[in-house]
Amino acid sequence: MKKNHHVIPNRAIPFLFHYVRIRPWLFGSVFLVIIIAASCAVGVQYAMKMLIDAMDGHEPRVTANVWMPLAVFLALITLENIMWRIGGVQGSRAIVASGVDLRLDLFVHLTGHSMRYFNQHFSGSLGNRVTATAAATGELFGTIFWRILPPITDFLGAVLVLTTIRWPMGIGLVLSVLLVAGVLILFGVRGRKIHYDYAQRASSASGEMVDVVSNVWTVKAFAASLREKRRLAKELNKEASAHRRSWMHIEMARVIHDLCLVITAGIMLYWAIMLWRSNTISTGDVVIVSALTFRILHGSRDLALALVGTAQQFGVINETLRVIASPHTVQDPDRPAQLQVERGIIKLDNISYAYPNGNKVFEGLSLEIKAGERVGLVGASGSGKSTLISLIQRLDDVKKGRILIDGQPIDMVSQDSLRERIAVVPQDIALFNRSVFENIRYGRPDAKAMEVYAAARNAYCDEFIRALPKGYHTVVGERGVSLSGGQRQRLGIARAFLKDAPILILDEATSALDTQSEKEIQAALADLMRGRTVLAIAHRLSTLASFDRIIVLENGKIIEDGHPETLRNQGGVFAQMWKLQAESFEN
């Protein structure tokens, strides 16, 4: 049984509530303080009524008791402002901390997806989704705290105050607000699809932008700037159209509310004046009825529009969770063991694998690589070489059969422990925008400086590194753009030296090197391979001449398997490939 150890809710409400549960006291304090502040705001209106009634009473003005209402009025205003400031401080702590947590959680879940997942999504778009979700979550919490909670508190307080004046007025206000809010919420719910479409369009446009920027060399090489501008303009116009529809839907909600406000406020004020003329209520009562009516109806607009606005934020969050929070296809077991590699025997036991579109790569493939054996994988493009080494690293799972290392099924051990014991030198070395030193030490972050320097010397890159502007502390740029292809390749090999794993995978490890550099690196790789189980893909067959064994793949099947010299003498596929390459070099 497999278990996803980084499960996050895939719907917005449980996703947000998860972060409230992490800091219940902090969120609870914000909730309580804002309720007190909003209650004080209603109390200020009532203190104003008391002050007006005292000033409008029958007592002489000199002896009128206006100081008590004034003191209450000032005290409530002071307390209200203090509460708002406390709420701001506590709210910022809660929202900012939750933004950090959720971005880390989304990052951890995102990196747990299989490589197939990343091949199907724009990497830039995925990063933007995480950032946009943090922003939407912060805005959503802020909306709840400062645009939804206060109007609800105002409304309940106003109903209570009006009920003490004339209870039918309290009921009238309840019905008015429920009608206005109901109309606006219904209108907002109908717009959810509009806001969701905008969130999708915005994410798609962002992904297209990142894709073009990340491939700017290709754009320049093919003089495609104008063509890409037109393509991008089409995506941005689609986003703009969706944005306008979302915006205009909110504007229509405002128009509906304004009409409701005029009608409801007029009715409530007319009612209060008629009661005042019949001497049923005081002047202060008329003032508080009018003040609370306008405050609550404006609040109902803010509330309803906030609820409509939250639909946009929920759209952003749900869209991100739909993409990122999908279940991992490659998962650790409930209680994963740690892979123990003493010999480095790799065994593929009757494995089958197919791409998501149904195209089969392997069907019942079995293979055993002995301890310390150096094995080269050869075959035409699409024969399954890269897929095979990807499955051994468990970047994806086989559909049937098992892959074992030293008798341990790799799907029963933790993915991290598996990959810690495999060093990989890929064709395209991925470097971070960090120093040379940090990039070499990435596979073993606890390595000492002298070990890093030794690995660089073994990979024949110490000399060029020390010639860089800041030596080992030179920042290499995004994806190592400031270095040549051969220099990046050497750093990748140095990284493998430093990792010192018992299993080594070489994927065209010398493809970016010139002839002289290749000779140096081949000598370094000979040292690196000694005592390790090695699996190498190489189109340049001469790099495999000293290997123990060559496996020739064709359409996911092993068609030849043997020592390089034996296969060359057999006159089969490998011999033909060797001959063609030899002739091409001679020419």
Tell me, letter by letter, the H, E, C secondary structure of 183-238. Answer: HHHHHHHHCHHHHHHHHHHHHHHHHHHHHHHHCHHHHHHCCCHHHHHHHHHHHHHH
Model confidence at 216: pLDDT above 60: yes
CATH code where residue 274 lies: 1.20.1560.10
**510-515: Cβ within 8 A, 24+ apart:** 510/538, 510/540, 510/543, 511/427, 511/539, 511/540, 512/427, 512/484, 512/485, 512/486, 512/488, 513/486, 513/489, 514/486
Asked if residue 457 is part of any domain, the answer here is yes
Domain end, chosen from 293, 324, 355, is at 324
In this structure, are 283 and 409 located in the same domain? no
In this structure, are 181 and 252 located in the same domain? yes
Whole-number Å distance between alpha carbons of 108 and 123: 15
Average confidence score pLDDT of the chain: 82
Model confidence at 249: pLDDT above 50: yes
Of the pLDDT bands very low, low, confident and very high (cuts 50, 70, 90), residue 428 is: confident
Asked if residue 224 is part of any domain, the answer here is no
Of the candidates 126, 127, 128, 135, the residue with the CA atom closest to the CA atom of residue 98: 135
In this structure, are 419 and 506 located in the same domain? yes
3-state SS assignment for residue 360: strand
In this structure, are 277 and 356 located in the same domain? no
In this structure, are 297 and 356 located in the same domain? no
201, 239 in Cβ contact below 8 A? yes
Domain extent, residue 429, equals 346-586
Of the pLDDT bands very low, low, confident and very high (cuts 50, 70, 90), residue 85 is: very high
Asked if residue 235 is part of any domain, the answer here is no
In this structure, are 371 and 445 located in the same domain? yes
In this structure, are 28 and 98 located in the same domain? yes
pLDDT digits (tens, 9 = 90+) for 442-475: 878 888 999 999 989 888 888 889 988 898 898 8
In this structure, are 360 and 461 located in the same domain? yes
Domain end, chosen from 261, 291, 324, is at 324
Asked if residue 7 is part of any domain, the answer here is no
Q: What is the mean pLDDT of residues 509-530?
A: 69
Share of the chain above pLDDT 70, in %: 91
In this structure, are 59 and 191 located in the same domain? yes
The pLDDT of residue 63: 59
Q: What is the mean pLDDT of residues 163-181?
A: 76
In this structure, are 181 and 312 located in the same domain? yes
Of the pLDDT bands very low, low, confident and very high (cuts 50, 70, 90), residue 24 is: very high
CATH code where residue 488 lies: 3.40.50.300
The side-by-side arrangement of strands in the sheet containing 408-409 is: 360-369, 346-354, 400-405, 408-409
The pLDDT of residue 408: 92
Whole-number Å distance between alpha carbons of 265 and 292: 10
Asked if residue 319 is part of any domain, the answer here is yes
The pLDDT of residue 388: 92
Q: What is the mean pLDDT of residues 218-237?
A: 83
In this structure, are 355 and 300 located in the same domain? no
Q: Which of 117-126, 350-359, 552-561 has the highest mean pLDDT?
A: 552-561
Asked if residue 393 is part of any domain, the answer here is yes
In this structure, are 530 and 383 located in the same domain? yes
Domain end, chosen from 276, 291, 324, is at 324
The reported pTM is 0.68
Q: Backbone phi, then psi, for 321, in 5-degree steps?
A: -65, -35
The pLDDT of residue 4: 45
Model confidence at 477: pLDDT above 80: no
Asked if residue 521 is part of any domain, the answer here is yes
The pLDDT of residue 3: 44
How many domains is the chain built from?
2
Asked if residue 212 is part of any domain, the answer here is no
